[in-house]
Amino acid sequence: MVHAEDPLLDAAAGHAGINLAAQTGEELHRVIAAAWPAADCSPQVHVVTGSAVDVILDVARAQHADLIVVGSRGMSGAEKFMFGSITEGILRRSDVSVLVVPPQWMPPRPAGVDLAGMGPLIAGVDMSDSSLAGARAACRLASTLGTSVEIIHVVPDLAVLGRWQPHATRALDDRVAEAEKELAGAVNGLGCQVPVEWRVERGAVPDRLASIAGRAADRAPLLVLGKKVPHSGGGAPGTIAYRVLSLAEVPVLMFVD
């Protein structure tokens, strides 16, 4: 459990003789005690002064973390700034996978100690190596959770003038047919050990993925997207991934290949 203390606030507290890190650590332990079953997991608490993104990534590296879990706060007004300054920074720079959890989300069995009941896992693929790596990760995670996988490729609509729409429709039909052949081959190469459904959709990519991964009475999906390991500042999720994150009402796993 990591909390980044604002340097200016920490300095001001120090001048007033207040040990802000100690007080924050005590508050975090109270949060843990009240958030069953967190205390049973023997969590470590890290209160570090500095930039939130730097602190979180530094602690993750020092602890050899497999996964960073962060919350999302929506994409409007002050909350958009919060997403951009912290969550986006972590997504852009992290060399380990990141799970982004919406504030309104609850696990399917809140009284349980694990993620039993989650599923299916929705893997959005664009045929790139990183997205297919994300699909393979979805297969492995689905096996652990005892659920299935849905692999989705979205062919975006063509924005054309009305008089060109018949031609655009034919071109889109051809793209969908090609994508179905390519996706079928890719799915066969994943080696999934759980039930897999796959399909090609049409429409705006973020909207379709967020809609398909929408929660329903009989579904508690988790959306999986792939991301390359960042090198020299690269590897950031693209505009589509950020749009999906802003729309999704379920957790999104950004799997780092």
State how far the Cα of 137 lies from the Cα of 257, in Å rounded to an integer.
Answer: 9
216 φ/ψ angles, rounded to the nearest 5 degrees: -140, 175
Task: Write down the pTM of the prediction.
Answer: 0.85
pLDDT digits (tens, 9 = 90+) for 151-196: 999 998 877 777 777 777 888 899 999 999 999 999 999 999 999 9
213 φ/ψ angles, rounded to the nearest 5 degrees: -85, 10
With 60 as the cut, is the pLDDT of residue 236 above it?
no
Angle between helix axes 7-15 and 20-34 (nearest 10 degrees) is 120
Which is more confidently placed, 113 or 124?
124
Give the per-residue pLDDT at 82. Answer: 43
Q: Cis bond leading into 37, ω under 30°?
A: yes
Query: Which region among 69-78, 85-94, 126-135, 229-238 has the lowest average model confidence (pLDDT)?
Result: 229-238
pLDDT digits (tens, 9 = 90+) for 31-40: 989 887 888 8
